[in-house]
Structure 1
Amino acid sequence: MFKLRKLILITFTAFLIVTSAQAQRYKIGISIGANSLTKKKLKQISDAGIDCVETGLTPYINKDSLTFILDDAEMMKKMRELKQSATEMGVEIWSIHMPYGKEIDISFVDETRRQKVIAFHQQVLKYVAVLKPKIILFHPSYYLSLNQRDIHIRQLIKSVEELNKNVKTMKATMVIENMLGPALLVAKGNQERPLMRTVEECLAIFKLLPDDVYAAVDLNHIANPEKLLLALGSRVKTLHVADGDGQAERHYFPCDGKGQNDWKAIFNALKTIQYQGPFMYESTTANLEGYLDCYRELLKLSK
């Protein structure tokens, strides 16, 4: 009898723990460049109830030449100082947004250009490894030439397999972000939109990617983003939170009322897929306290 009561007590306690964990809010995060993350700014972030940040090294990079504005020793010093300040202020460096652009495309068809980008990213990873991030986020491509989508996908897969080795060495997780793509062609009709522009294309590409490479879903890049969340399911490891209409890079702050996202549907999708990552804003508001306030407002709307 005693054993039965003990078993019931253990089971009930476990239930309470699970229920309590489910009731906890998502961590709140914001996207901010590494050059802006001073000790003072990190304290302000922490005081505003923000738990974590996504950052990147773009301010330290010459995008056209794929070089850094500081030398190796200075970059390493910057990263060590940033990590120490974040630790002291209790702010987690959750994710790194890797550089991207016309000359930084991991799906380049030209192998020499692709290899140059891989080497550049490996250098970036060397620096951000000091920050001990959980997530390393890449764009799948830049804009594409006409009728070369399949070969860009093959090059993307090749690059992901190479870079994922570096990411795993850091004990981090690689994620690929969905891109904007209301129509295949850009307005002038002389280029195609980047890879992973639709639910269908995201699913097709993720079937080709290694199982330990996951997804970042940008809620501003696609109309009805809840459909993409549900389609990708447990592969969603992080978010870019912004409002939009899926037609252009809006990055509206969700509580400004400018976008078309259905936040109730989004929260329901996050619950359905048992999303465990932070509510990572890639949109801005007037004051840091506004991020947590907005999250609470959206949460009320979703009930």
Structure 2
Amino acid sequence: MKRSNPVEWKVGTSYSPSGTLTLSEIKEAGLDSIELVISRNETDLSYEGLKGRFNSYIQKAHELGLEVWSVHLPFGKDWDISSIDLEKRNQILEYHFEWLRWVSEWNINQVIIHPSYEPIPDNERLERIKACKSSLHLLAEKAKPLDIHICVEDLPRTCLGNTSEEMKTLIDAHKDLRVCSDVNHLLLETPEHFIKELGDKIATVHISDYDGVDERHWLPGEGIIQWDRVISALAQSGYEGTFMFEVKMDKCSPRQLVDCWKDNLLIQYKRADK
């Protein structure tokens, strides 16, 4: 496996049109990419609804020279692909298939999907894993001719995919499945361990800090994550995707993300890598 060079990574941020952050602010700060987040609270999540709501934002990003690296699909109880109610799960998947068709029209190659909602009782876990794997297989089959990677996000607490071992089980559903490594979701192992275990299956990341007790989405440096180890693990895995921040932007600006990367995280990595 060839080691990648973090200096060459693009840097981006998650972006939702329903927030206060603008695409122009993201570009002016010096960021390269965005992850477009589709909220479950949108009034119309049909194919036509997505076109009417989001196409102008993607076009605007392109005009500004911002890459739309990924799309985060809706998540929550109503969109849980691990539902053990087969009829409901099939209805949920039909929406997902429409979302993939829309994403493909913009030549976006990564979609992020949550493997479950929560809470998940222990006595349901194996059945929910089985249901999730069935859904992921169907999604990967649908995504393959569209040149889209289904990126399964690790999740905290009782959600599915809360450890590297369980994530391996989930993505074993299809050889084309990939992983979105959200480092502030890992409550049972360190982010660097998770990254080393999943290796080149990681196609994208969500970057933020936390206290190890629960997800916090803090700016890196405000929590306990050892960033030199995380970046080194990603580099060793050959990661070449975008270093995608997913920080609470009500307490942070795009410029702070750029400064955090250039003046803090990258320097920590270079110092430790000597």
User: Per the shorter chain, which TM-score range?
Assistant: 0.7 to 0.9
Within 2, Cα distance between the matches of 1:254 and 1:23?
16
| Equivalence for 1:114 | 89
Report 1:116-131 matches (<5 A). Answer: 116-131=91-106
- Distance of 1:72 and 1:23 partners within structure 2: 36
Give the CA deviation at 1:173: 0.9
How far residue 37 of structure 1 moved from its aligned partner, in angstroms, is 9.2
Q: Percent identity?
A: 28
Give 2:218's aligned residue: 252
Match of 2:10 in 1: 27
Q: State the Cα deviation string for residues 100-129 of structure 1 (Å, max 9, x = none).
A: 111211011110111111112223233333
**Residue matched to 1:225:** 191
Q: Structure 1 residues 233, 120: closer, same or farther in 2, change over 3 A?
A: same
User: Which is bigger in relative contact order (C-alpha 8 A, separation at least 6)?
Assistant: 2
CA distance change for structure 1 residues 59 and 85 in 2, over 3 Å: closer, same or farther? farther
Change (3 A) 1:83 1:265: same
Aligned mates of 1:59, 1:196 — CA distance in 2: 20
- 1:252 alignment partner, SS class: coil
Mapped contact 1:243–1:261 kept (Cα < 8 A): yes
Moved more, 236-245 or 130-139: 130-139
* Cα-Cα RMSD: 2.4
Instruction: Name 1:65's counterpart in structure 2.
Output: none
Residue in 2 that maps onto 1:196: 161
Query: What is the CA–CA distance in structure 2 between the aligned matches of 1:23 and 1:58, rounded to whole Å?
Result: 30
What's 1:167 paired with? 143
Q: What residue number does 1:7 align with?
A: none
Q: CA deviation at 1:241?
A: 0.1
The whole-number CA distance in structure 2 between the counterparts of 1:102 and 1:74 is: 20
Q: Is the 8 A contact 1:35 1:59 kept in 2?
A: no
Distance in 1, Cα, partners of 2:6 & 2:193: 24
Q: Deviations over 1:227-278 (max 9, x none)?
A: 00000000011100010133212111113x2x11011111111111111111
- Residue 128 of structure 2 corresponds to residue 152 of structure 1: yes
Alpha-carbon distance, 1:99 to partner: 0.7
User: Do the aligned partners of residues 78 and 102 (structure 1) sit closer, same or farther apart at CA in structure 2, a change above 3 Å counting?
Assistant: closer
In structure 2, runs of 5+ residues without a counterpart are none
Distance (Å, rounded) in 1 between the aligned partners of 2:141 and 2:18: 27
Q: Which amino acid aligns with 2:163?
A: T
Aligned-pair distance for 1:83? 2.6
Deviation of 1:204 (Å): 3.0
- Give the number of equivalent residue pairs: 263
C-alpha distance in 2, partners of 1:169/1:37? 36
SS in 2 for 1:254: coil
The alpha-carbon deviation at position 166 of structure 1 amounts to: 2.9
Structure 2 match to 1:279: 243
Separation of aligned partners in 2, 1:171 and 1:37: 32
Question: Cα–Cα, structure 1 residues 23 and 72, in superposed 2: closer, same or farther, change >3 Å?
Answer: closer
Q: Aligned partners of 1:24, 1:169: CA distance in 2, in Å? A: 32
Structure 1, unmatched stretches of 5+, are 1-17, 63-67, 182-192
CA contact (8 A) 1:83 1:130 kept: no
TM-score scaled to structure 1, two decimals? 0.79
Query: Does the aligned pair in 1 maintain the 2:134–2:173 contact within 8 Å?
Result: no
Moved more, 79-88 or 155-164: 79-88
TM-score of the aligned structures, taking structure 2 as reference length: 0.87
